[in-house]
């Protein structure tokens, strides 16, 4: 069983940590460096993992998951660079930080994998876009895909596509919640109480996502099957079109990709 170190275990780090443990990784083989003392205690108690200094955590670790905020990456790498094993795989989930940045801060030849997660990983339904750095073997990328696959689905993409992945699945849950907020508000405006509107909207989302996934049918075809000529759905969709909802959503996704590119420099 490999030894896994986490550098930072906030929302996303703990999510991946918990998924790996659920999948059978022994807590004895997981070491966590977390600079927030309260959080560190909590992680130790909740998961039974070893919480230690960053340098101790990475020493001898087969996999090092870097889960600090992007702006904290340089400091954490400076702390541990000398202790990363030559055979270790370093996995970064930091949005917008290139594998080249990691490679420049780590000993030459260190295998680096970049992954873009999303928050549904909290319930085991995450989506990860994974990219290899320049010193990574296919087997190392696959091992990281298997590790992250404990918290959801994984696609392997070229690193040049990470901005687009971020725009669709990294930020994507927020677009869906935005849509649901408006479905609930519209339902309340039409006479429902907020709790009932929330139940209706949530189950509709879950059902539609499951149907889309399991049927493999195109979303446009699934939409057509709901839309009776001259009916209620047609009234909604033509209002969306008139008010620019489709254009706005598409432009929003493109803006997120552009922002991701700006952030990664
Ligand atoms: N939350 C999200 O939806 C997504 C987050 N990400 C990425 O995941 C990473 C983590 O994000 P969150 O978990 O949301 O942030 P967070 O703030 O919840 O977690 C970061 C943790 O790192 C700890 N930390 C900072 N510096 C440290 C150091 N030198 N040594 C040890 N621990 C240290 C902090 O105390 C904190 O608990 C970020 O780089 C973010 O870009 C990527 C995609 C989605
Ligand atoms: O909003 C952000 O910048 C991060 C990256 C993807 C999701 N949250």
Q: Across-strand partners of 6?
A: 32, 65
Q: What is the number of the ligand 1 atom nearest to the C-alpha of 13?
A: 13
- Alpha carbon distances (Å) from 219 to 21, 118, 141, 168: 35, 22, 31, 15
Domains in the chain (CATH in brackets) are 4-161 (3.40.50.720), 172-263 (1.10.3730.10)
Kindly tell me if the per-residue pLDDT of 265 is higher than 90.
no
Residues in the chain: 265
Segment 226-250 shows an average pLDDT of: 97
Residue 79 pairs in a beta bridge with none
pLDDT tens, residue by residue, 150-166 = 999 999 999 999 999 99
By the 8 A CB rule, do 99 and 76 touch?
Answer: no
- On average, the pLDDT of the chain sits at 96
Q: How far is the CA of 120 from the centre of ligand 2 (A)?
A: 13
Mutate to test the pocket of ligand 1, among 69, 75, 77 (most ligand atoms within 8 A of CB): 69
The answer, yes or no, to whether residue 221 has pLDDT greater than 80, is yes
pLDDT at 57 (0 to 100):
97
Cβ of residue 35 lying under 6 Å from some atom of ligand 1: yes
CA angle 258, 263, 265 (to 5 degrees): 100
Half-sphere exposure of 136 (CA within 13 A, CB side): 28
Question: What does the DSSP 8-state code read for residue 68?
Answer: S
196-231 burial code (b ≥16 CB/10 A, e <16) = ebbeebeeeeeeeeeeeeeeeeeeeeeeeeeeeeee
Give the Å distance between the CA of 217 and the centre of ligand 1: 36
pLDDT at 1: 61
112 lines ligand 1 (CB under 6 A): no
End-to-end CA distance of the chain: 37
User: Residue 126: CB partners within 8 Å, gap ≥ 6?
Assistant: 15, 117, 118, 119, 120, 148, 151, 152, 153
pTM: 0.94
Q: Answer yes or no: is the C-beta of 129 below 6 A from any ligand 2 atom.
A: no
Determine the Cα–Cα distance for residues 210 and 9; give it in Å rounded to an integer.
30
Q: DSSP readout, 135-189? A: T--HHHHHHHHHHHGGGEEEEE--GGGHHHHIIIIISHHHHHHHHHHHHHHHHHH
């Amino acid at each position: 069983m490999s030894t896994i170190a986490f550098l930072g275990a906030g929302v996303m780090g703990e999510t991946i940590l918990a998924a790996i443990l659920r999948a059978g990784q022994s807590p004895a083989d997981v070491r966590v460096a977390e600079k927030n003392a309260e959080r560190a205690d909590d992680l130790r108690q909740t998961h039974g993992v070893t919480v230690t200094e960053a340098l101790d955590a990475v020493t001898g670790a087969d996999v090092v998951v870097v889960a600090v905020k992007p702006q904290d990456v340089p400091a954490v790498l400076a702390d541990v660079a000398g202790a990363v094993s030559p055979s270790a795989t370093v996995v970064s989930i930091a949005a917008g930080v290139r594998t080249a940045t990691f490679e420049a801060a780590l000993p030459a030849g260190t295998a680096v994998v970049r992954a873009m997660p999303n928050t549904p990983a909290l319930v085991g339904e995450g989506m990860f876009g994974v990219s290899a750095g320049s010193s990574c073997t296919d087997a190392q990328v696959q091992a990281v895909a298997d590790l992250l696959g404990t918290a959801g689905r994984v696609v392997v993409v070229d690193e040049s596509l990470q901005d687009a992945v971020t725009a669709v699945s990294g930020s994507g849950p927020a677009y869906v919640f935005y849509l649901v907020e408006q479905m609930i508000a519209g339902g309340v405006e039409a006479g429902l109480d907020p709790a009932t509107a929330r139940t209706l909207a949530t189950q509709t989302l879950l059902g539609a996502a499951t149907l889309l996934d399991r049927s493999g049918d195109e979303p446009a075809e699934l939409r057509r099957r709901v839309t009776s000529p001259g009916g209620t759905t047609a009234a909604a969709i033509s209002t969306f079109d008139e008010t620019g909802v489709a254009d706005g959503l598409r432009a929003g996704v493109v803006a997120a990709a552009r922002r991701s590119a700006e952030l990664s420099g």
